[in-house]
């Protein structure tokens, strides 16, 4: 089983739609969680960290479910500019090991 698993997609959604991605992780010792965004042929950039209580940043909401070992990303009112690959990242406290998922590709259609 992969340490971090994501549905590769693509998720094709119309503008204005709400879309959600999940990411499962296998190691319960995982401590920190992140969503990164990677545009085609560009480097990954932090979208948001995921906190235990869940957090929101504008149209983006991240949730953590430790019992079921998954994190989620919800995007409301999708924009064309949201089209990208979304990478789930987990790490372990006190270490430098960031484990990346393969990413979920989102296409927002006009």
Partner 1 sequence: ETGVTQTPRHLVMGMTNKKSLKCEQHLGHNAMYWYKQSAKKPLELMFVYNFKEQTENNSVPSRFSPECPNSSHLFLHLHTLQPEDSALYLCASSQDVTGQETQYFGPGTRLLVL
Does residue 35 contact residue 45 with C-beta atoms inside 8 Å? no
Judged by CB under 8 A, which of 44, 64, 70, 72 binds partner 1? Answer: 44
Burial class (CB in 10 A: 0-12, 13-18, 19+), 57: exposed
- Neighbour tally for 41: CB within 10 Å: 5
Judged by CB under 8 A, which of 69, 70, 91, 107 binds partner 1? Answer: 91
Q: What angle do CA 19, 24, 25 make, to 5 degrees?
A: 150
The residues, any chain, with a CB within 8 Å of residue 58's CB and separated by 6 or more, are none
By CB under 8 A, residue 60 contacts partner 1: no
Q: Compute the least distance from the CB of residue 81 to partner 1, in Å.
A: 17
Judged by CB under 8 A, which of 28, 58, 93, 110 binds partner 1? Answer: 93
By CB under 8 A, residue 102 contacts partner 1: yes
Q: Compute the least distance from the CB of residue 11 to partner 1, in Å.
A: 17
Per-residue interface string for the shown chain with partner 1, residues 17-36, x marking contact by CB under 8 A: --------------xx-x--
């Amino acid at each position: 089983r992969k340490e971090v698993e994501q549905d590769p997609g693509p998720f094709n959604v119309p503008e204005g739609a709400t879309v959600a991605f999940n990411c499962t992780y296998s190691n319960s010792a995982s401590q920190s969680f992140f969503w990164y965004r990677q545009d085609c042929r560009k480097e990954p950039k932090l979208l948001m960290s995921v906190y235990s209580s869940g957090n929101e940043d504008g149209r983006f909401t991240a949730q953590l479910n430790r019992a079921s070992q998954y994190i989620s990303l919800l995007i409301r009112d999708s924009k064309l500019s949201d089209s990208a690959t979304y990478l789930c990242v987990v790490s372990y406290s006190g270490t430098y090991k960031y484990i990346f998922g393969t990413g979920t590709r989102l296409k927002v259609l006009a």
